[in-house]
Structure 1
Amino acid sequence: MTTSLRRSGVRTRTAALLTSLALTAGVSACSGDDGGDTATDPDATSDSASSTPSPSEDSPSETPTETASDGGGPGTAQAIDAIGSAGVTKATMVHATEVGGSASTLAFVLDTDQAINDFVGQFDAAFAPSIGAAIGAESGLAPDATPYAATVAVGCDDPRNVAIDAGEAGFEVVPKLPKNGVQCLAPMTYVVVFTVPDA
């Protein structure tokens, strides 16, 4: 009887191994998909080709311009509108998938190399050049200003704009997120970089 149990156990393990190999092959085949062979509804018009939800009432009047970051790392930089008591009207938002970080409304002052390294240290090392490029771009636009950055969101919803307010502890950056949440497979990290004129 022990030999039949061993054979039964071998069959169970073999079946489990074959099943896991089949699942791995299926997942690998799906992950290499470039989206070129996706099925479409023949009755749909070209206006409904996007699967994203319709914009809500809090979407901006202008679509922010997106550009690939010049930093060489993962990440995309785009201009984002800002409001609030700090007097900042435009900022740069850099975002990338699965680069770490934790959201905080408190902005970090980036006035020294050490401060920049401390802020960037919370992210995947490959994301640092993208943030560095955004800091350089913001500083280049306003040489008599101090750069700041805040990780405003980590998740699936990209901020529509931000409110930057001056407080006792520094600058607070609060993102305005869409009302309808988006589901995603991997979290995005959103960093807002801005400058404030020196006093």
Structure 2
Amino acid sequence: MELDVSELSVQETYLRMVQMITPRPIAWVSTESKDGVANLAPFSFFSGIGANPPTLCFAPANNPDGSPKDTLENIRQTGQFAVNIVSEATAEAMHQSADPVAPEVDEFELVGVSGIRCVKIAVPRVEQAIATMECTLHSTIGLGTGPGGANLVIGNVVYFHLDDALADEKVLKTIGRVGRRHYTKIDQTFQL
């Protein structure tokens, strides 16, 4: 099969990308609006960039109406966000937090997870997450416009939280996304 991206819809392009770019780690991003409403949303276009300074990025696409997602708006307003790491125990809540809801809805309450304050930033993190990275905004880059338009958020990691029971683990048992609604768990690894 040969496909010319210029002849595909945004949705078709997205479906091919998530089919081919696997497994994708999940940034379960928590933010807070300037009015104090907690927001929680997953993004699987996510990666670490470097360790000096510790930097990561994720890419929230615009809403179907072309407007920016609440996560992006909150980060632009406050300059802060937390990336919560997803395990099998939090997978269902993470998936549910992808559903579109009004900005005034506290998504921690909606999906049934506890928010706990971060140390260096004024944003809640998921208490049940096996690890969290507190981040300050480095920059955002608009890469596209309209429905599905891509945005790149680059953040500086300023604090780590790691479940004490996992501190000595070489590999955390996280989950990744391998399709539109399909996930995989990291339960087998090999070393070269």
TM-score interval, smaller chain? under 0.3
Q: Give the strand-richer structure, 1 or 2.
A: 2
TM-score (structure 1 length as normaliser) = 0.25
